[in-house]
Amino acid sequence: MGNEIETIFTHTTDNGATGELGIDGKGRLYWNRKAVITEQKVSLQCWVNISIIIASLSTLLIAIMAVLNYFYPFIDK
């Protein structure tokens, strides 16, 4: 079994350009018989990572408070 690419979709634009989407036996994706990058490592700046962590922790805290409020609602006496 070589690198046989099976075409799964063909598209023709209004100006006549054509494109083919295909897949090989190993599940790799191809556009016009050229491999499409489907995996790529993403590196973010340090401040973006820190803000993601802070946002995640605050979301977790809000969820915990909502659960506590559901089971132990504030009762004004």
Complete DSSP assignment for the chain: ---PPEEEEEEE-TTS-EEEEEE-TT--EEETTEEPP--------HHHHHHHHHHHHHHHHHHHHHHHHHHS-----
* pLDDT given at position 3: 75
pLDDT the model gives residue 40: 77
pLDDT at position 76: 58
Token pair 């506590």 in the structure block, residue = 68
Domain locations in the chain?
6-35
pLDDT tens for residues 40-65?
Answer: 788 889 999 999 999 999 999 999 99
Q: What is the pLDDT of residues 26-43, one digit of tens each?
A: 888 999 989 988 777 888
Residue 37 confidence (pLDDT): 82
